Amino acid sequence: MKEKLIVALDVSTRQEALGLVEQLWDSVGAFKIGMQLYNSEGPDIIRDIQALGGKVFVDLKFHDIPNTVCQTSRVITRREAFMFSIHASGGVEMMTKSASAVREVSGQLEIPKPLVIAITVLTSISQEVFEKEVGISRPIEDQVVNWAKLAQQAGLDGVVASPQEIRAIRNACGNDFVIVTPGVRPLWATANDQKRVMTPKEAVKQGATYLVVGRPITAQQNPGEAARKIVEEMEEAFDA
């Protein structure tokens, strides 16, 4: 079950990031590098984490014209990322070209193909914000499922979506489609800026493939203990 847990390294320095990796590499499945850490330390942080035995999810949410995202996908593949993200709202052509580039490069280099997943609707966005500020007048779940189906059509491996959309995505895209779920908060943690949240047990029970957890682990005095408590909560989904 620990392989399903991805820790978000939402820190600004190499020292902080590697300190967390050293404490957690044998307790979790992978580490997520977002814009904060990547822009602070550059791409070498990927290699540094890998050198300590950690798999890396590069979560930079690429969103640009198809050719730019395609070429960027080639770069990330050569860095042997375990997973990386692009925006579903970039369209089918952008997603298709990215997926094709990843297959081509990983085949040429004979390296494991990274999972390419599409961002749907950020977990910080509520239905009210979605309608009044984003300007999409439909239920978030409907839009998430639509983007998930387009991502699958384009050849991507899965999507990032809040726990509340897991079941609908599973029904639309099947059991082999990867669902990466942020917005997961154990019972003993606060929601922070997340709006559409669920506990680890609930998310696994709904059918999440991977859970992304940051502050409930990284902000604790003993991150390793916090990670093990979350894995225990996840395991309860199968014990019930």
- CA 31 – CA 27 distance, rounded (Å): 11
Question: Cα–Cα distance between 65 and 56 in angstroms, integer?
Answer: 25
Which residue ranges are tagged as binding site for substrate? 10, 32, 59-68, 123, 185, 194, 214-215
Region for 192 from its dihedrals, namely left if φ exceeds 0, alpha if ψ lies in -120 to 50, beta otherwise? left
Note whether 78 and 118 are within 8 A (CB): no
pLDDT of residue 190: 55
Q: Domains (ranges, CATH) in the chain?
A: 2-239 (3.20.20.70)
State residue 195's pLDDT score. Answer: 53
- 17-23, long-range: CB < 8 A, 24+ apart: 17/41, 17/45, 17/48, 17/49, 18/48, 18/49, 18/52, 20/218, 20/223, 21/49, 21/52, 21/54, 22/52, 23/223, 23/224
Q: Which of 61, 113, 149, 195 is catalytic?
A: 61
Q: Which of 59, 97, 157, 201 is catalytic?
A: 59
pLDDT of residue 34: 97
Structure-block tokens of residue 25: 């590499």
Task: List C-alpha distances in Å: 15 to 5, 10, 40, 57, 82.
Answer: 22, 12, 11, 19, 22
pLDDT of residue 188: 67
Residue 64: active-site member: yes
The residue from 2, 48, 64, 149 that is catalytic is 64
In this structure, are residues 208 and 179 in contact, taking their beta carbons and an 8 Å threshold? Answer: yes
Q: Which residues contact 21 (CB under 8 A, 6 or more apart)?
A: 9, 31, 49, 52, 54
pLDDT truncated to tens, each residue of the chain (240 aa)? 999 999 999 999 999 999 999 999 999 999 999 999 999 999 999 999 999 999 999 999 999 999 999 999 999 999 999 999 999 999 999 999 999 999 999 999 999 999 999 999 988 888 999 999 999 999 999 999 999 999 999 999 999 998 889 999 999 999 999 999 997 888 766 555 545 568 899 999 999 999 999 999 999 999 999 999 999 999 988 775
